[in-house]
């Protein structure tokens, strides 16, 4: 069988036929369809449920889940355990009372699975006993009790069905892992347990966690690289277990935040890249699995072999691979007060925002910087104002940005914590019970507080500006059309925008096609976007040290340009009502004409070191641009340019817009075609028409 690739390149074959068959079944929805047959468990039969405190109700829900969820055992699988309740896909604890779900669940977090490999759950349980003076920890002990019930069911069920995995489960995850296979099984079983309970967690630095076990086994001669690849491939295949054959369309089906980070340095400053790093790249290259977005930490010291391998895998498309600039991110984390040793642990939250795995509570606050300019400041569509100079307009925009940031910080102060006489911080409840998550956050036990109430070592709240390229381009267009070339007055331009450019097509085409915009390495065109981003970052960081919460800036849309398109007004750069504008920190579609290198250079002109949460750049390439040795060399050079110029995060997708158009017309022929959407990947046919149009438009580089 051949795994589809939308770029025309032929995928290699390394895995055995049985593993490839298992992958094909999973990718085509067999196990997701099975999960939907039992979406949840019922808690209606629990006496007094509605009168219990939330923590106790949550406990009863988890108890019901582990006792009643179906078990899934698949012939020949090398890793065992599954999140078999279909409602978990809906981001809720899959327990229902009457007609409503008992609780929501947690995402945008990467858990501390490395501690399970090193300590085992029994070791973590002993830590809880050590902190037995903290009442909250009783609930964490209950989670381990529930874990034992689920684990015991799999141990019993696998004795005859799968002796290999049965023997692994006799030790892990309760005891520390000793071998590579034990480590993979332990990691998967814990991850699957959190998924079963409805949570969407990132996995983190998988090669750092698993690499030492594989290295030891290889040295001992107890495993070969081919055997290790088969085992690890089953981990990845099982991560596709929520795919459904007929997934409802929307924002895509492969966005459960199970992100993975590869390479980079460890806490001692040594490079992590190891055999597991390359096995992961082998697996996603061969199978095209997009459900684990993979980000590689690159630096000026990254090995040429690794960079070439990233380029080779990127060519197959799907947007599965992205890269971080490790050098810049470590500097950024140092600037906002992270201990340098702690900072070296960084991964992401399930999309691409930076956090320390197993130690971070994270939430972001997105807003539309374009609408802030056009509606709040300029007053469109109903009450347009007039400005006599660009500096006057900028000062008004600056004041509105500052007001927004200050109010956001005041809300953090009010909603997250309060100061009192002892000099400590009293944390308010800000979310539902989530003890399954708290168990895998290191300091929750030590602090005796849950994930939502200041249990983690770091609480990070991050305002995210969206539409910054569109706002910058609009300021630049106003500057050119009104103040520099004087083609129209400010009031006249406002009236034109109120009329959606009707009757002014010649001027609209001039704005669209004769003015150079952000993304073409033009100093004047880029200057407003740079000014917006640097100013926004300074405003946020001015509050960073005013309370224990890390209040840090980021740049993103995460696809919200779809939600925003109908409430945005027409732009001075020539776009009409309902145009899909920029994604993340990328150029407005159709405005970048000078190639990927020029886009990277424009993106890197802002001081991205200030954007401590992250600033994502989307790069789209045609397959013809990356074919042959020259194509690989071009991709490697692009990665180096990104690092050298001070980029933060870059996600590259290789796809032909004509393939996407055909997939839109004949979805049955493209069941596994993956594209990068924003912080996640999605199979193209599971996107609705607006999302598909957005992907096609930004891929083709057509007019807006």
Domain locations in the chain? 1-31+200-336+613-655, 38-103+113-196, 360-383+392-609
pLDDT the model gives residue 429: 57
pLDDT of residue 8: 82
Work out the average pLDDT over 492-515: 98
Report whether pLDDT(420) > 50: no
CA distances from 567 to 372, 381, 405, 502, 677 (A): 12, 10, 22, 19, 21
What's the CA gap between 237 and 232, in Å, rounded? 9
Average pLDDT over residues 587-600: 94
Confidence of residue 697 (pLDDT cuts 50, 70, 90): confident
When pLDDT is cut at 50, 70 and 90, the band that residue 427 belongs to is: low
For the record, the structure tokens of 218 come out as: 């290889």
- pLDDT confidence of residue 486: 98
Over range 233-256, report the average pLDDT.
Answer: 82
Band (pLDDT 50/70/90 cuts) for residue 405 is very high
pLDDT at 318: 84
Q: Which residues of 583-598 are buried (b: 16+ CB within 10 A; e: fewer)?
A: bbbbbbbbbbeeebbb
Indicate the angle between helix axes 30-37 and 17-27, nearest 10 degrees: 50
Do β-strands 614-621 and 649-654 pair in parallel, antiparallel, or remain unpaired?
Answer: parallel
Dihedrals phi, psi of 85, to nearest 5 degrees: -95, 115
Q: Is 459 helix (H, G, I), strand (E, B) or coil?
A: strand
Percent of the chain at pLDDT above 90? Answer: 80
* Residue 454: CB atoms within 10 Å: 23
pLDDT at 657: 83
pLDDT at 416: 58
- The gap between the terminal CA atoms of the chain, to the nearest Å, is 40
Q: What is the pLDDT, as a whole number, of residue 423?
A: 43
Q: In the predicted model, what is the mean pLDDT of residues 278-292?
A: 95
646-680 per-position pLDDT tens digit: 999 999 999 888 888 888 888 877 777 878 776 67
Specify the pLDDT at position 558: 83
How many whole angstroms from its chain centre is CA 672? 20
pLDDT grade, residue 253 (50/70/90)? low
Give pLDDT, residue 704: 35
Confidence of residue 686 (pLDDT cuts 50, 70, 90): confident
What residues are paired with 652 via a beta bridge? 619
Amino acid 667: pLDDT: 81
Query: Looking at residue 701, what is its pLDDT?
Result: 57
Question: Beta strands 649-654 and 674-676: pairing type?
Answer: unpaired
Decide: 679 and 558 in contact? Cβ < 8 Å. yes
Q: Is the pLDDT of residue 87 over 90?
A: yes
* 400 φψ region: left (φ > 0), alpha (ψ -120 to 50), beta (else): alpha
What does the pLDDT average to over 513-537? 98
Higher pLDDT, 695 or 48: 48
Which range is least confidently modeled, 100-104, 134-138, 157-161? Answer: 100-104
Tokens found for residue 494 = 């406002």
| pLDDT at site 514 | 97
Lowest-confidence region among 58-72, 474-488, 570-584: 570-584
Average pLDDT value for the chain: 93
Rounded distance between C-alpha atoms, residue 469 and residue 525, angstroms: 10
- Asked whether the predicted pLDDT for residue 602 surpasses 60, the reply is yes
User: For 449-476, how does the pLDDT look when each residue is reduced to its tens digit (9 = 90+)?
Assistant: 999 989 999 999 999 999 999 999 999 9
The answer to whether 322 and 529 are in contact (CB under 8 A) is no
């Amino acid at each position: 069988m051949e795994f589809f690739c939308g770029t025309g390149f032929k995928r290699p074959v390394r895995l055995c036929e049985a593993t490839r068959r298992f992958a094909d079944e999973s990718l085509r929805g067999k196990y997701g369809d099975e999960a939907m047959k039992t979406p949840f468990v019922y808690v209606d039969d629990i006496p007094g449920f509605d009168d219990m405190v939330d923590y106790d109700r949550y406990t009863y829900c988890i108890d019901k889940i582990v006792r009643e969820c179906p078990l899934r055992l698949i012939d020949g699988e090398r890793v065992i355990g599954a999140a078999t309740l279909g409602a978990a896909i809906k981001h809720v604890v899959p327990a229902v009372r009457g007609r409503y779900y008992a609780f929501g669940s947690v995402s945008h977090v990467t858990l501390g699975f490395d501690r399970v490999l090193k300590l085992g759950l029994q070791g973590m349980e002993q830590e809880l006993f050590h902190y037995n003076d903290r009442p909250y920890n009783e609930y964490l002990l209950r989670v381990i009790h529930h874990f034992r019930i689920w684990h015991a069911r799999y141990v019993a069920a696998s004795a005859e069905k799968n002796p290999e995995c049965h023997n692994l489960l006799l030790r892990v995850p309760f005891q520390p892992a000793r071998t590579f296979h034990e480590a993979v099984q332990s990691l998967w079983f814990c991850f699957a347990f959190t998924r079963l309970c409805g949570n969407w967690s990132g996995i983190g630095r998988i090669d750092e966690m698993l690499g030492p076990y594989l290295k030891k086994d290889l040295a001992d001669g107890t495993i070969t690289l081919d055997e290790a690849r088969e085992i690890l491939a089953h981990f990845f295949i099982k991560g596709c277990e929520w795919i459904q054959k007929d997934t409802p369309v929307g924002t895509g089906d492969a966005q459960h935040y199970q992100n993975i980070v590869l390479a980079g340095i460890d806490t001692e400053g040594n490079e992590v890249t190891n055999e597991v790093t390359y096995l992961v790249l082998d697996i996603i290259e061969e199978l095209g699995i997009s459900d684990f977005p993979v980000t590689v930490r690159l630096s000026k010291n990254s090995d040429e072999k690794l960079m070439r391998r990233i380029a080779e895998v990127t060519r197959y498309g799907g947007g599965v691979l992205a890269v971080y600039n490790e050098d810049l991110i470590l500097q950024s984390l140092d600037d906002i007060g992270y201990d340098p040793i702690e900072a070296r642990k960084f991964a992401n939250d399930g999309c691409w925002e930076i956090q320390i795995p197993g130690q971070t509570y994270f939430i972001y606050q997105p807003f539309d910087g374009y609408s802030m300019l056009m509606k709040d400041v300029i007053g469109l569509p109903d009450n347009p104002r007039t400005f006599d100079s660009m500096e006057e307009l900028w000062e008004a925009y600056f004041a509105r940005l500052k007001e927004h940031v200050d109010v956001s910080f005041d809300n953090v102060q009010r909603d997250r914590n309060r100061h009192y006489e002892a000099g400590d911080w009293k944390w308010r409840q800000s979310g539902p019970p989530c003890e399954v998550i708290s168990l895998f956050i290191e300091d929750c036990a030590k602090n005796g507080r849950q994930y939502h109430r200041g249990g983690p070592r770091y609480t990070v709240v991050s305002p995210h500006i969206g539409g910054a390229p569109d706002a910058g381009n609009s300021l630049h267009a106003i500057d050119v059309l009104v103040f520099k070339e004087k083609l129209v007055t400010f009031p006249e331009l406002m009236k034109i925008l109120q009329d959606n450019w009707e009757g002014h097509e010649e001027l609209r085409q001039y704005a669209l096609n004769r003015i150079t915009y952000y993304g073409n390495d033009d100093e004047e065109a880029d200057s407003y976007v740079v000014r917006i981003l640097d100013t926004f970052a300074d405003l946020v960081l001015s509050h960073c040290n005013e309370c224990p919460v890390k209040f840090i800036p980021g740049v993103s849309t995460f696809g919200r340009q779809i939600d925003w398109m109908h409430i945005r007004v027409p732009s001075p750069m020539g776009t009409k009502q309902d145009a899909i504008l920029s994604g993340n920190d990328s150029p407005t579609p159709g405005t970048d004409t000078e190639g990927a290198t020029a886009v990277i250079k424009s993106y890197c002109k802002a001081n991205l070191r200030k954007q401590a949460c992250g600033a994502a750049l989307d790069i789209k390439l045609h397959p013809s641009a990356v074919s042959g040795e020259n194509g690989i060399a071009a991709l490697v050079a692009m990665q180096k340019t990104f690092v050298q110029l001070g980029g933060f995060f870059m996600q590259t997708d290789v796809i032909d817009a004509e393939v996407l158009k055909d997939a839109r017309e004949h979805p049955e022929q493209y069941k596994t075609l993956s594209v990068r959407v924003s912080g996640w990947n999605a199979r193209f046919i599971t996107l609705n028409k607006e999302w598909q149009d957005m992907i096609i438009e930004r891929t083709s580089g057509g007019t807006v």
